[in-house]
Amino acid sequence: MSIIYKIFDMIVEPSGAISLAAVLSDEFRKLENIDSIGIILCGGNVDEEKLPFELH
């Protein structure tokens, strides 16, 4: 199951999840003096029937 779906109950297309992948990377976690961030997730082109995991 996708971490985005599991935590946020959202379905996003793979290219729309790249920003989350960057934030979860070791390189990003090593950065200092970051109080908050914002990421944009998109998924307008997702076919729910072709997901690699089951919904609910």
Q: What is the pLDDT of residues 3-49, one digit of tens each?
A: 887 888 888 877 778 888 899 999 999 999 999 999 888 766 777 77
Is 54 inside a domain boundary? no
Is residue 14 within 8 Å of 41, Cβ to Cβ?
no
**Distance separating alpha carbons of residues 48 and 7, to the nearest angstrom:** 17
Domain that holds residue 36: 3-47
Q: Judge whether 2 and 53 are in contact, CB under 8 Å.
A: yes
- pLDDT-derived band at 1 (thresholds 50, 70, 90) equals low
Q: Is 21 inside a domain boundary?
A: yes
**Residue pair 5/11 in contact by the 8 Å Cβ criterion:** yes
**Cα–Cα dist 50/19, whole Å:** 22
Domain annotation covers residue 14:
yes
CA 13 to chain centre: 9
Confidence tier at 56 by pLDDT (50, 70, 90)? low
Whether 56 maps to a domain, the answer reads no
Q: Tell me, what's the pLDDT at 19?
A: 87
Predicted TM-score of the model (pTM)? 0.62
Q: How many domains does the chain have?
A: 1
